[in-house]
């Protein structure tokens, strides 16, 4: 089951808070010794806990929030605070199909839809372990009857990729990508609970 942890920290997060949060989650919910956890990174920049092959996590932060997704298989998460964005970036970060669909929306809906797409895309990029090495314009996120699908450049959908979106606060978009379609109820963690 994919588990999501949500922590409202305020914009002024203490240095090292994200690593302390991961250690807290791994110790409290993953049964690990939080003092002995070593967090490393893949060549693509995705963090992982050394010697914990069945504990995959991913973290994102924006504005007042830090979020973490955990699963036994690779997982990706992204949260973004919706803000003004230069519309010329739409073409740079979206596939052609996404860009044209966005342009068909009323102008007042485009910015929010862009952030929705962006969090879905970034959660997928992070789930793959490639992160920004995978060009966001090289694939398409497409709405389906049951959620969203990732379309390769060939137009074929990838199988066994699932998304979940969370509405945690006004002015924020958040998405999780996993190869499992079982989702736990989000666990809210207070910043005072994260020690170390």
Question: What is the pTM (predicted TM-score) of this model?
Answer: 0.94
DSSP annotation of 157? B
DSSP bridge pairs for 56: 71
How far apart are the C-alpha atoms of 90 and 118, rounded to whole Å? Answer: 10
pLDDT for residue 27: 92
Residues of the chain with pLDDT under 70: 11, 196
Per-residue pLDDT tens for 158-175?
Answer: 888 999 999 999 999 999
pLDDT for residue 75: 97
CA 163 from chain center: how many Å? 10
Question: DSSP secondary structure string, 78-137?
Answer: EEEE-----TTHHHHHS-HHHHHHHHTS-HHHHHHHHHHHHHHHHHHHHHHT-GGGS-GG
**Is residue 173 a contact partner of residue 80, using CB atoms and an 8 Å limit?**
yes
How far apart are the C-alpha atoms of 82 and 113, rounded to whole Å? Answer: 10
Task: Match 């379609």 to its residue by tokens.
Answer: 181
pLDDT for residue 16: 84
pLDDT for residue 51: 92
Task: Match 């991961």 to its residue by tokens.
Answer: 22
- Ordered domains of the chain (ranges, CATH): 3-193 (3.90.470.20)
Per-residue pLDDT tens for 40-50?
Answer: 998 878 899 99
pLDDT for residue 187: 96
pLDDT for residue 73: 96
Give the residue among 65, 64, 107, 103 at the shortest CA–CA distance from 84: 107
Which pair of structure tokens corresponds to residue 138? 């090289």
């Amino acid at each position: 089951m994919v588990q999501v942890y949500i922590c409202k920290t305020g914009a002024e997060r203490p240095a090292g808070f994200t690593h302390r949060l991961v250690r807290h989650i791994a110790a409290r919910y993953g049964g690990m010794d939080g003092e002995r956890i070593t967090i490393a990174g893949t060549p693509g920049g995705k963090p992982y806990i050394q010697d914990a092959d069945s504990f995959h996590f991913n973290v994102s932060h924006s504005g007042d929030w830090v979020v973490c997704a955990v699963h036994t298989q690779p997982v990706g998460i992204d949260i973004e605070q919706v803000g003004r964005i230069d519309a010329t970036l739409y073409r740079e970060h979206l596939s052609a199909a996404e860009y044209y669909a966005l342009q068909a929306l009323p102008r007042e809906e485009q910015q929010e839809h862009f952030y929705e797409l962006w969090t879905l895309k970034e959660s997928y990029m992070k789930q793959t372990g490639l992160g920004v090495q995978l060009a966001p314009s090289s694939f398409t996120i497409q709405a389906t009857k049951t959620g969203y699908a990732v379309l390769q450049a060939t137009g074929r959908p990838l199988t066994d990729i699932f998304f979940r979106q969370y509405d945690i606060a006004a002015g924020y978009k958040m998405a999780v990508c996993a190869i499992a379609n079982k989702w736990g109820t989000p666990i809210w963690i207070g910043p005072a609970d994260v020690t170390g």
